Each structure stands twice: as C-alpha cells, then as structure tokens.
Amino acid sequence: MEKTYCVKVAYDGSMFSGWAKQNDNSIRTVQSCIENVLSEITKEKTNIYGSGRTDKYVHAIDQCFHFKTKYELDKKILFKQMLIKQPEDIFFKSIKEVNSSFHSRFSIKKKTYLYKVNTGKFNIFERNYVLQYNKPIDIKKLKKASKNFIGEKNFLSYSTSESINSIRKIENIRIVKENDYVLFYFTGNGFLRSMIRMIVGTLLNHNENKTTIDDINYYLDNPKKGSSQAKADGCGLYLYKTVY
C-alpha cells in the first residue's frame, strides 16, 4: 500500500546548485541528493516535492518536502535509515505520514524567509552564511521603505521568475538589529524566484540613497521582469519557517 510522507529538513546551501535537480546529473542539488538517499533505502525510484525551490547557495532551516512510497518498513525505521545516510550538509528534522492529497507546495499556508546581513567588519568565516555588507544600516529608514512591499502586489520587477502569475502577498516584513547583524524576515503565501534577494538588494540601495521610495513604487506599478536590478547574494538567505 502506497504511503505519503512529509519531511522537514534543514541544509547548508553552500555546496549546492540550488534545490531543484538538473538534467545534468553531475550538478549537485538538494533534491537530487535526497532522492538518491530515499531511493537507496526504499529500493525504488523516489521523487520528492518541496515547499519551494531555493537558489544556488541559499540555505534552509525549515524546508518541507513530501514523497510517496510503497516501502513497508515502520516509519521510525525509515527515518533512522534516512539519518544514517544523510549527507553531511543535509539534516532530516522530522517525518510524518500524511493524507495522500497532501502536497508540500500547494498545501502550505505561509512561509517565512530570513536574510542575514553583517554590518560590522568582514568575517571570512561567515562569508557563505551572511551577506558581508560591512557598513551601517539605518534601520528606521529601511523599516519605513519596507512597508511599500507589504500586501498583495505584482512583484515581477523584483523577480527573475518565468511564472505567468507574478502576484504575491507579503504579510509582514520584520527588520531586527542584533549586535552587528541586521535580520530581515519576510512572511507571505509564496515568493517568486529571487524576489526576496531583489527586495533586500533594493532596500540596501535605499540605505545608500541609490534608490528612492518613488523608485520602489515605480517598479511595483510598472512590472517588468527583473527591472529593479538590485539583487543581494544568495548566501545570506534562509528558508526559515513553513506553516501548514
């Protein structure tokens, strides 16, 4: 009897070319690595479906994926085997059996991404995990500017997506300073490719007076793929939380 499982997973994106598997099997992706692990355990070709596709170098604290299998061993034994075989930069956090209609992408209610910026001195040991901005950020100024992105809008100008529907809803943007670090939290029902990185890049340009509030709204009111141009590096971005 076929079963459907939902798995929560974290990963260090530094050595991956993103989440989605590629036609070239030599390209290392999170999806292909996990599918290889599961296929080895279940002795059947196993396809997984994630809550979203993270780009190259992007990390995840709380990614979710589901898969279907006819594998008959107990869930606890299955999960134990997954933990034994997981690559060193992937960590399986939990597993649960779900209804066959469950879909990691389409069943999700909302997700939160975190973007981390270092405003202090360059830290070589964090270069793969935090954007090394290395200059002060006016938190009050960016909080005010970020309000322009909240709500249901056409984010095509802040995306490299090929999606036909570029309307997305951002519920909340929270900007927090912790010592030398500024943390940007974005919560919404879904995000386009590069959308958060382009919004962060635009906000950092605004911090340096390279982009105005009028510019921000112009790109929202006149959607054209990638026209806002600014894009922060992938290393500072984390899929932080998925809610079902």
Residues 48-81: pLDDT tens digits?
Answer: 999 999 999 999 999 999 999 998 889 999 999 9
Which residues does the annotation place in the binding site for substrate?
113
Ranges of each domain in the chain: 3-98, 113-243
Nearest to 16 by CA among 41, 4, 33: 33
Q: Is 233 a catalytic residue?
A: no
Which residues does the annotation place in the binding site?
113
- Looking at every residue in the chain, the average pLDDT score rounds to 97
CB atoms within 10 A of CB 116: 20
pLDDT band at 105 (very low <50, low <70, confident <90, very high): very high
Cα separation, 16 vs 51, in Å, equals 17
The answer to whether 51 and 8 are in contact (CB under 8 A) is: no
pLDDT band at 162 (very low <50, low <70, confident <90, very high): confident
The answer to whether domain 3-98 has CATH 3.30.300.130 is: no
Rounded mean pLDDT of 155-165? 92
The answer to whether 49 and 240 are in contact (CB under 8 A) is: no
Q: Count CA atoms closer than 13 A to 28's CA, side-chain side.
A: 9
Nearest to 87 by CA among 40, 24, 25, 125: 40
The whole-number pLDDT of residue 163 equals 80
Nearest to 146 by CA among 116, 104, 125, 176: 176
Query: Of 55, 215, 221, 233, which residue is the catalytic one?
Result: 55
Specify the DSSP class assigned to residue 120: S
Phi, psi of 241 (to 5 degrees): -155, 140
Which tens digit of pLDDT belongs to each residue from 133-154?
A: 999 999 999 999 999 999 999 9
Work out whether strand 59-69 and strand 237-243 pair parallel, antiparallel, or are unpaired.
parallel
Give the three-class secondary structure for 188: strand
Which residue is it, tokens 């999170």?
Answer: 30
The answer to whether 58 and 237 are in contact (CB under 8 A) is: yes
The whole-number pLDDT of residue 89 equals 98
160 residue type, one letter: T
Rounded (10°) CA dihedral 58, 175, 108, 150 = -120
What lies within 8 Å, CB to CB, of 128 at 6+ separation is: 14, 57, 235
What is the CATH number assigned to the segment(s) 113-243?
Answer: 3.30.70.660
Q: How many residues does this entry show for the chain? A: 244
